[in-house]
Every structure is written in C-alpha cells, then in structure tokens.
Amino acid sequence: MFLGMFRTTFFLVSICCCSFYWCHGCLEEERTLLLQIKDSINYPGGSSLGEYWVGKNCCQWYGVDCNPSSFRVISIDLYDVREEGLGLWYPNTSLFAPFKELKELDLGGNHIGGWVMPQAFSGMRSLRKLYLFSNNLSASIDSLRGICELTTLRVLYLDENRLNDHSIPKCFGNLSLLEELSLSGNELKGNLPAFPEMQSLRMLDISSNNLSLGIDSLRGLCGLRNIRNLDLSYTNLDERAFLRLCLSNLSKLETLSLLDNDLGSYSIALTGICELTALRVLDLSWNKINDHSIPKCWGNLSSLEKLDLWDNKLKSPFNSLTANNSYVGSIPQCFGNMNSLRRLSLSYNQFTGTIPSSIFQNLTNLMVISTSHNQFNDSISFSTFANLSKLIHIDLSDNARLEVETEHPHWVPTFQLQSLFLSNCILNKGGGSGIPTFISIQQSLETLDLSHNFLKGTIPSWLLNNLTVGSLILGGNLLKGPFPQSTQRNNSMLQELDVSDNFIYGELPSNINTLFPNLIVFNMSKNELQGTIPVSISKLQKLGMLDLSQNNLFGEMPHGLISRNNTSLKFLRLSNNKLQGNILPKFPNMTKLVVLLLDNNGFTGAIASNMLSSPSLKILDLSKNNLSGFIPSWLPLLTNLAILHLDGNFFNGPIPSEVCQMQNLHILDLSNNKISGSIPSCLPNISSWMKEISINVDIFHPRVTTILTTKGMTLTYEGLPLSLMTIIDLSMNQLTGNIPSQMGDLKALHSLNLSNNILSGPIPESFQNLESIESLDLSHNKIVGTIPPQMVQLYKLSIFNVSFNNLSGAIPYEKQFSTFKESSYTANPHLCGPPLQRSCSCNNSSQPRDNKGEEEEEDDSTILDSPLFFFTCGWLLHIFWDFGVSLPFSPTSTGDGSSLVQWTGALIAAI
C-alpha cells in the first residue's frame, strides 16, 4: 500500500511539476550511491526498488527528497524494502555517509541485524532523524554501538527490535542532543538505562515492555529533567516501581501516559503525580483505580487539560466527598479547581450516585464531557453546563437510571455542540419526556443520539428539517404521530436516520429522495407505518441500509430499490409487512447486497432464473410468503450465501442436487413447503457442514453506523461467528426414501430437523459421527429399525425426538441418552426399555391404550414448548433479539436446548 500510495503521488509529481528545480535532477555522485544502495538491499538479488529507482533525476525517486536549492539528497525512505526470507541484513554504512545533507533516514522493517563498517556513521554529520523500528537490532550489541557516533541525532526510533536491558550500550549517553527516543515494544525488563547526559530529551516512549520484574526499573529516568512527554503504557508497572520514579525531578512533564498498568490499589503511588504541576494530559485508563486510590492533592493539578480514567473501578468518589471521609479524596473540589481541564472522560467505570453540578462551575475550558457507561442514578440538569461555552461534545449515555433534565430550570446554552449522546438514560421525566428544546438552537450539531429513552410526543419538524445533523438516532422511544411533514428546505445533511421502535404512523413522505438526498442508513422498523413504500426511496443514490420491517406497509416493493439504478444497497429488510406482488423485479442489480430479508409478507410467484445477480449476498430470507414453483437450481451462483430461509411457502418439486455445490451455507431452511422426492445424498459436499469454517457477514451494524456517518465514508463492519450455526431444517414437507447414510459425515452440523415427512428406512448408523449435533428431530416419519446404540456418545445432543415412527428394540439408555424423557420416543409401538414404561421382556406388546393417549398429549405440549418449534417457525426468533452472544454448546447442557436459539437471536441482533 505504501508503494501504491507513492506511485500515485509520483506520477502526479512527474506529470505536473516538471518545472523549476525538479528538472535539474540530482547530483550524479549521489545518484550513483543510491543505485549502489539499491543493489545492496537484496544482494545479489534485484531490489523491489527496481521499478522506482530509475531515470536520471533521483530527486523524483520513491522515498528520496532533495534540497531544492542544492539538489542534494536530504531524506531517504527505505521502509520495508528488504525481501523477507533473505535473513538478516547488514547495510554498509559507508554507502550512506557521503550524503552531505542527509537529515532523515528511514530503515524500518528491514531485518537489519547490524552494520558493515559502523564507524562510517561518524561521517553522517547532518543526520537528525533515524528510524529503525521493526528490525532485528538485538542480534548483536554492536548494532547499536555504531549509532553512538551519530552525535547530531535528534530523533531515534528503535521500536520492536526485541531489545533487552543489555542491548543498549553505555555510549548512548553520547547522543546528548537527542530529543525523541522510542523504545516501545521491546523486551526491556528490569532496569532502564540511565542517561543523565540526555538533557535535551523531551519525549521518551517505553510503552509495551514488561517492567514488572524490576523494582528499580524507572530509576534511570530520574535524571531526565527536561522531559515533557513520557509514555509508560502497557508495561505491567506496579505501585512499587512507580514510586521509585522520582517524579519531583520531572517537573516539566506535560504528558504522562500510564494506560493499562497496575497502579490502582493505593493512593500513595498516585500521590506522586501531584508534583507534576505542568501536567496537561494524564491517562490512567485501565489501571484498576478505585475511589480510595485517587489522592486529594490532584486538585492542585491546575494545568491539567485532559484526564482519562477509562475503565477503572471508580464507583462514587463524588459521594465520598460529602461523606467527609478523611482518607478519601475530595474529588469534587479537586476536579473543580482544574480550570484548564478541556476534556473530562469518566466513561466505562462503575460510578454511582450523583454527577455533582458544583464541580462544573469553574471548568470553563471544558470541551468534552463524557460520563457514559456508568451507574449514576441521581439526576442532572443541563442548566449546569449553561456557561461552559467551549463545550462541543456531551455524552451521558448508558446510565440507565440517571434522570437528565434539559428544560428546568430555565437556561440558555452558551455552547454550540457538535455531538450529543443521551442514549439510554431517563430524559426529561419531569417535563413530559419531550425532545430537549435547546437542540433547536444548536447550529453545529452533527450527531444526535436520543435513543432508548422514554421520549414521548411527536418528532418536531425542525429536528429533521433545519438542523445540520448528519446522524439522528431516536430509536427505542415512545414517539407517536405521523412522519414529520417537511418544510421547504431540502438540503438536509442527514446520512443516518433511525426512528425504529416507536409509534410513528401514516405514510412515508413521497418525496423522500429530495428531502434527504444524502441518506445512507434509514431505519423505520417497528413502527406503525401504513401505505406503500414510496418509489422515490429507490432514487436515494447513497442508500446502503434500509429497514422498514414490522410495519403495516402494503403494495409492491418499488422495483428500482434493487434494480440497475441502485447498486449501493447492502442491507434491505422489509420483513413483517403486508407487501404483495412478485418478490423480485425482472432485472435486479444488487451487486453490493449482503442481506435481503423479505419474510413474513404476501409475496407471490416463483423465483425465476435471472432474479438474483447478487454475488455478495450472504443472508436471504424469503420465508412465510406465498411463493411457489421449484427450489431454484442456480442457487450455487450465490457463492457467498450463508443463510437461506425459504420455509413457509408453497415450493414443490425435489431438492435440487445443485444445492450441494454451495460451499458457505450454514443454515438451510426449506421447512413447511410441499417439497417431495428424496434427500440428496451429496449434502456432505457442503464444506461448511463438514468442518467449522467461519464467514464474516460484512455488513455494517446499524448501531455502528454513527461511526460510518461521522467519519465520512469509512464503513465499519462486524463479523459474525457463523461457524457455530449450522442448521438443516427440511421438516413439514413430503420427502420420501431413506435418510442418506452420508449425512453422518456432517460433522459441524448443530441442528437437523427432518420431522413430519414420509421418510422410511433406518436411522443411519453413521449418525454416531454427528459430533456437533445439539438437536435432532426425526419425529413423525416412517422410520424403522433400532436406535444405533453408539449414538449415546453424542454428548452435545440435548434435543432428541424420534416419536411417531416405527422404531423397535431397546432404547440405549445411558450417557447423553439418559437425559431424554419418554416424550422423545412416543408412539413407536416396538420400542422398549427406560424411559418408557414398556420393559424389554419378550411379551410387551400389550400396552394399555389409555396410557398411550396420555403420552401423545404430553408429546404435543413438548413440541410447542421446545425451541425446535421456533426453528420451524423461522424468524419468530426475533423475540430473542436481546440475547447476548453467550457460549451455547456446553457439553453438559441438557434439556431445554435454548442455546441454539440464543445463537440465532444473537445473529439477528448483530444484523
């Protein structure tokens, strides 16, 4: 990519800029040197620069920069040019030394293990910046000794070189002009080198080393009295080691990064930070800090602009103030005095109680307030923020018991926000749960998230029409009324509009394409919309995601939506409406479509051969419509299809053997149709059912689309663990013949439902190999023979049903099978042994008739209760919307088998 980027720039440069000095070219002697360097890189093989380092003017070569007046080379970028597999590279230093004006040299990523003629470094009197990250400089101690000669060096990057405590030679102290040194990502352990000579050092990065061994590991830093920026993140640092860092010497420190260490247990370690009176940025995220470890004296950090305490164990430091507790810091005062603070981020902690209003009084420089993902449970009024005129970002989201009041007492904002996140709190409970009115005078607002509150009332039309908002999220509220009528303005910036899960009724505006020409994400699912889908929706050129499911929409789907003119669509869900007509247009062009969900409507007709030219399609759900005709044999053209639901229609004819060519199928649901013929024996050709392979369903997560819109066009995708969901459901059809014994090879299959067909012959013995199977339903067929006893080892099996068949012999009642009840076996007159009452002694044929009736009854109710019922009812699974992704297939799981349901629920939730 680096080269690719270069190439573009390069051509631009050479086409448009051949004027003035560029055409003079470089000095011939430097050009010759560069060619020698090129030849030495992969010596004796050719270099990857062969393509780029050609022509007379070496100042135009990739990675080469020249001084515009002297035409001498000032910078050489040789990042990642050495071919892998050639072993270590020992560049000949004397090839670089003659460049009299060379200031900057990048040799990163080249497997450099040392140097030929390191003494030549002493000739490089101009070099200021040397980048050597991602090499193998730990290979020999001499490799770094040569660098000591570079006494003019200002910037040195030695990241990721596997350097250890002994790799860094004493003579490094000679680099007395060094300002920036990075040793990040090495193997430094006990003792950091001490270089009191480095008095120019401003920036030192030691992050991502493991300093947990050396109590004295930070001692070496005590002499760095001029240091401004110190990064000790990800170093396994504990308090003892941190205490040895003589912070009082480092009084000029402005930025201290201590992410992901172990500094949280005692306040004594963090007390040292109080000496850093010049500190502007302090990052202590991921340190297990609790209320008691925050020292009082932090209040003196009057220069602090940014304090990050992400993901610690803070609970209620604010409350502890009022508790007047001698050992607990008075946090409110302390924060309140930091009047340079620009960013207060307390997200992802366990704060409870109140956000104290008083602390904000003096924080007039605050730009960012973020307290999301805590457990604040009191109330806060926005009037608190009224005078913080620099605020641009407020995020109080996910404090489910925090009451946020924006209307009372009366206040006038002095700020103009860019983003406001108030998702999942309790908004304006006292004032009628209305949309905050101050928003109407926010003229720079780009992102507004008010989802999952209890907002009532209608959507004010100014919210859609006169704001600059690009992303508007109102989902999961109690908003009523028609879709707001537009005012005249039609230059709306809206890219994402999510009003899902409310009570919006009436029709969508017929001119939606002119109202919101920039829409990328449009989610109106779970409302009470009526009427037809406006044709104009298909003219939204940028639309990527459309969800109008669970409304009362009727009429035909506008065919332009997935035809030639609209190729941007990736996700289309129109499920659970009353749509009719042919399911797909004649000339679809859905090259980008990944998810198509049209289930639970009244679509009719057959699926014709030219209907789906959607190579990207991964999920197709046409279930519960009135479709008819054959199951199409061209399905394998959808090479990426992972989930196929055609259940609940009137499809007839056989299952085409072409289905076996689908290599990524994880769910095949053809249940509840009129399909006849036998089960194709080639099903195990589908590799996703043979071994678990995972597929990324790369569609964006609607919840992530905020990023999508706020960051311009960078799409964010989310992968799904489809590898754990392999399901075949052919139940409720008219299938005949034997169950193919090859099906025993479906090693990754989790659920197989063949119930309610006319299948005959035995249960294949090979079923003992279905090692992943969790649910197996063969009930209501004409299956004969015994239950293969080896099947008792299928220890993941938690739902097993062979009732209403013609099986005979003893039930294998051990291991996993000892968990199945009578109802699994009902109505097989010749089965015997536990759990049935019927014993296996010779004369067992006369069971009392009424007893059997009872069993039947019990059986029916079991079917209704079991998750299998939900499978056959397909997307009823929506009710499991909120299940998280939990580990479903526990070996000990017995009984209810809810885990599969959770998986599918998680899948849908993730969509």
Ligand X SMILES: *[C@@H]1O[C@H](CO)[C@@H](O)[C@H](O)[C@H]1NC(C)=O
Applying CB under 6 A, the residues found at the interface with ligand X are 87-88, 92, 94-95, 111, 116-117, 136, 148, 151, 162, 170-171, 173-174, 210, 212-213, 236, 333, 336-337, 358-359, 361-362, 440-441, 443, 462, 466-467, 538-539, 560, 564-565, 567, 589, 591
Q: Which residues pair with 42 in a beta bridge?
A: none
**8 A C-beta contact, residue 300 and residue 275:** no
Instruction: State the minimum distance, in angstroms, from the CB of residue 469 to ligand X.
Output: 10
**8 A C-beta contact, residue 406 and residue 428:** yes
Compute the distance between CA of residue 740 and CA of residue 763 in angstroms, rounded to an integer: 9
Contacts of residue 296, Cβ cutoff 8 Å, sequence gap at least 6: 329, 330, 334
Residue 223 main-chain phi, psi, to 5 deg: -85, -5
Q: Which is nearer to ligand X, 183 or 631 (CB)?
A: 183
Instruction: State the minimum distance, in angstroms, from the CB of residue 446 to ligand X.
Output: 13
Which H or E run includes 379? strand 379-381
Residue 604 main-chain phi, psi, to 5 deg: -125, 180
Instruction: State the minimum distance, in angstroms, from the CB of residue 680 to ligand X.
Output: 31
Compute the distance between CA of residue 530 and CA of residue 512 in angstroms, rounded to an integer: 15
Q: Which is nearer to ligand X, 144 or 426 (CB)?
A: 144
Instruction: State the minimum distance, in angstroms, from the CB of residue 773 to ligand X.
Output: 39
| Token pair 């000990």 in the structure block, residue | 892
**What angle is formed at CA 799 by the lines to CA 797 and CA 801, rounded to 5 degrees?**
115
Instruction: State the minimum distance, in angstroms, from the CB of residue 417 to ligand X.
Output: 12
Q: Which is nearer to ligand X, 116 or 758 (CB)?
A: 116
Instruction: State the minimum distance, in angstroms, from the CB of residue 117 to ligand X.
Output: 6
Compute the distance between CA of residue 253 and CA of residue 276 in angstroms, rounded to an integer: 6
Q: Which is nearer to ligand X, 333 or 626 (CB)?
A: 333
**What angle is formed at CA 130 by the lines to CA 125 and CA 136, rounded to 5 degrees?**
125
Q: Which is nearer to ligand X, 188 or 783 (CB)?
A: 188
Instruction: State the minimum distance, in angstroms, from the CB of residue 38 to ligand X.
Output: 13
DSSP state of 766: G
Q: What is the separation, in whole angstroms, between the first and last Cα of the chain? A: 31
Compute the distance between CA of residue 253 and CA of residue 227 in angstroms, rounded to an integer: 6
Instruction: State the minimum distance, in angstroms, from the CB of residue 234 to ligand X.
Output: 9
Compute the distance between CA of residue 593 and CA of residue 570 in angstroms, rounded to an integer: 4
Compute the distance between CA of residue 661 and CA of residue 685 in angstroms, rounded to an integer: 7
Q: Which is nearer to ligand X, 461 or 687 (CB)?
A: 461
Instruction: State the minimum distance, in angstroms, from the CB of residue 567 to ligand X.
Output: 5
Q: Which is nearer to ligand X, 462 or 503 (CB)?
A: 462
Q: Which is nearer to ligand X, 390 or 747 (CB)?
A: 390
Q: Which is nearer to ligand X, 299 or 475 (CB)?
A: 299
Q: Which is nearer to ligand X, 67 or 212 (CB)?
A: 212
Contacts of residue 757, Cβ cutoff 8 Å, sequence gap at least 6: 730, 731, 732, 733, 734, 735, 736, 780, 781
Instruction: State the minimum distance, in angstroms, from the CB of residue 412 to ligand X.
Output: 13
Q: Which is nearer to ligand X, 169 or 677 (CB)?
A: 169
Determine the residue with CB nearest ligand X: 336
- DSSP annotation string for 303-356: T--EEE-TT-B---HHHHHHTT-TTS--HHHHHHH-TT--EEE--SS--EE---
Instruction: State the minimum distance, in angstroms, from the CB of residue 261 to ligand X.
Output: 11
